[in-house]
């Protein structure tokens, strides 16, 4: 029974974070989320994975491995979105030319 509770809780947590990442991806706005959230989550997940492997607690090994990957994805997403927001407004795609009104 303990394992079932652990796996169910793990699935809920991973799904919750995945839903937030999907929302952030679709909004294309990384300003509402701190990059330090994802940096902290990555570091904590790594520590918990190491601890969980040593404790042979596979629920937490899997959960924290997935959460660590989600944190890295979230960090990359925030950084890319912020960089895109700082790009000059008039920047055009490669291979296009600007036209001036006649």
Q: Which domain does 67 fall in, by range?
A: 30-85
pTM for the whole structure: 0.68
Can you give the pLDDT at residue 56?
Answer: 93
Residue 4 lies in a domain: no
Can you give the pLDDT at residue 89?
Answer: 64
Residue 46 lies in a domain: yes
Residue 81 lies in a domain: yes
| Residue 58 CA: distances (Å) to CA of 50, 55, 94 | 11, 9, 48
Can you give the pLDDT at residue 8?
Answer: 87
Half-sphere exposure of 54 (CA within 13 A, CB side): 6
Residue 1 lies in a domain: no
Residue 67 lies in a domain: yes
First to last CA, the chain: 75
Can you give the pLDDT at residue 99?
Answer: 53
Residue 96 lies in a domain: no
* CB-CB contact of 65 with 47 (8 Å): no
Total domains in the fold of the chain:
1
């Amino acid at each position: 029974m303990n394992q079932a509770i652990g796996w169910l809780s793990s699935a809920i947590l991973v799904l919750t974070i995945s839903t937030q990442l999907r929302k952030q991806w679709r909004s294309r706005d990384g300003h509402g989320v701190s990059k330090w959230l994802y940096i902290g989550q990555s570091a904590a997940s790594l520590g918990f994975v190491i601890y969980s492997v040593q404790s042979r607690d596979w629920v937490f090994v899997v959960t924290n491995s997935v959460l660590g990957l989600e944190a890295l994805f979230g960090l990359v997403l925030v950084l890319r979105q912020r960089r895109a927001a700082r790009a000059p407004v008039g920047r055009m795609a490669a291979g296009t030319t600007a036209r001036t009104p006649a």
